[in-house]
A and B are shown apart, each in its own frame.
Chain A
């Protein structure tokens, strides 16, 4: 075959020439779209491209999960604008220093003084109340290591391809310990958000689980909570979506792929260490999703 006698670089060069030819044909055949594509800086050949080493990043590289997280960092969402910050820069830094110190200790509950301090300061910072103890319910661990979980089936017919992002995380074969997110009909926006930002807790380890599991299960089902990653200064509001069966000495909590990625839970600085608390939100006003403390703090200055 003649091509096999060519130098490798020649073959690659020819392949690139073929791409150029294809592009020329495409833009010629779709000339009515040309100015529109240019206005949007949309290059069809670059769609989906993700090369973090490239200095001139294409518009499409913004589609990568990492870039989306960075973009979210750079946006002040309307949700965040509503949140009030009432603390000084010194206090802001000392909260996270303290949290980082506490998370370097073994997993468990916080001692009373630290707990009260953090509840108050973080609530002020976030603009909504967070507590370690809600309606006499308290987890065995407020601090610990959060492991990554697969996506959960939201309905009996749910498939991995129906989940929007991070399909590589796979789909859990069994349904959540709390049942389906929707029993029948289409998957609602609420169900989609619940699965997207779910936490998995080791409720079986609660002291009164064996005697009171029915009430506990019903109370914890889709209970709103917040996970705080102090190393990256990111909080994620989510719901309790599953009960974790795994080794409690290795991971004290689990979470959806979205929580892990958006919360940068396993960044080199974080190493999975988080604080988790209940969100006291009786009117259901706190939206689910990530909150970036740095941005939040600056937005209020």
Chain B
């Protein structure tokens, strides 16, 4: 008999691994599913980024990487909001339930380009972080 949490983790892993279709998957999806933009995450690129580090550091790096993406994405999206109150409203949503994909729907409703903004932000973060690590 399986625990539900086991089933969740297993399903999640299987789905993610299917998507990745790679042999050297280093991603711990438990960290990635804590964000509302999880459906937009370029798993293959994140995996490539993780390969750059020692396997033992994969979890730690993933956590730091998510923090970097959170900052970059939030910063980009906040620029779209005109008033301070709107910015606060968005941040309140994030604070209340950051893993809820409805935040993404809310953003797309307000700004149809949000999805593109997020994707670009992620790409930029990965590239900049990589460059920073190399160049210091």
Contacts and interface: CB of A to CB of B under 8 A. Distances in A.
Interface of A: 1-4, 8, 11-12, 14-19, 21-23, 25-26, 29-30, 32-33, 36-37, 40, 42, 44-51, 59-60, 63-64, 148, 161-162, 164-170, 250, 257, 260-261, 265-266, 272
A49 B67 contact: yes
B78 A11 contact: no
25 contacts: A12-B53, A12-B60, A15-B132, A15-B133, A16-B64, A18-B68, A18-B129, A19-B64, A22-B125, A29-B75, A30-B78, A32-B84, A36-B88, A44-B70, A44-B71, A47-B94, A48-B98, A63-B34, A63-B95, A63-B96, A63-B98, A148-B4, A166-B8, A170-B11, A266-B4
Contact of A22 (B63, B68, B96): B68
Question: Sorted from nearest, which 6 A-B pairs have the closest CB atoms?
Answer: A48-B34, A48-B98, A168-B8, A8-B54, A45-B67, A3-B134
A23 B66 CA distance: 13
Contact of B35 (A18, A47, A265): A47
| A interface secondary structure, majority | helix
A21 to B, nearest CB: 8
B34 A2 contact: no
B101 A169 contact: no
B133 A47 contact: no
A19 B128 CA distance: 11
Interface in B11-69: 11-12, 30-31, 33-36, 39, 52-54, 56-57, 60-61, 63-68
Nearest to A168: B8
Given A8-B57, A33-B88, A260-B4, A14 B74 contact: no
B107 interface: no
Q: Please classify how large the interface on chain B is, using the bins under 10, 10 to 19, 20 to 34, 35 or more.
A: 35 or more
A164 B22 CA distance: 30
Nearest to B94: A47
A25 B124 CA distance: 15
B34 A42 contact: no
A257 to B, nearest CB: 7
B98 A47 contact: yes
B136 to A, nearest CB: 6
Interface of B: 1, 3-5, 7-9, 11-12, 30-31, 33-36, 39, 52-54, 56-57, 60-61, 63-68, 70-72, 74-75, 78, 84, 87-88, 91, 94-102, 105, 125, 128-129, 132-134, 136
A168 B12 contact: yes
Nearest to A18: B132
B42 to A, nearest CB: 17
A25 B78 CA distance: 13
Contacts of B57: 8, 11-12
Contacts of B100: 164-165
Nearest to A41: B95
B128 A1 contact: no
A26 B132 contact: no
A23 B52 contact: no
B134 A46 contact: no
A33 B64 CA distance: 23
A2 B9 CA distance: 37
A68 to B, nearest CB: 9
Contact of B102 (A1, A30, A51, A164): A164
Contacts of B96: 63
Contacts of B8: 166, 168-169
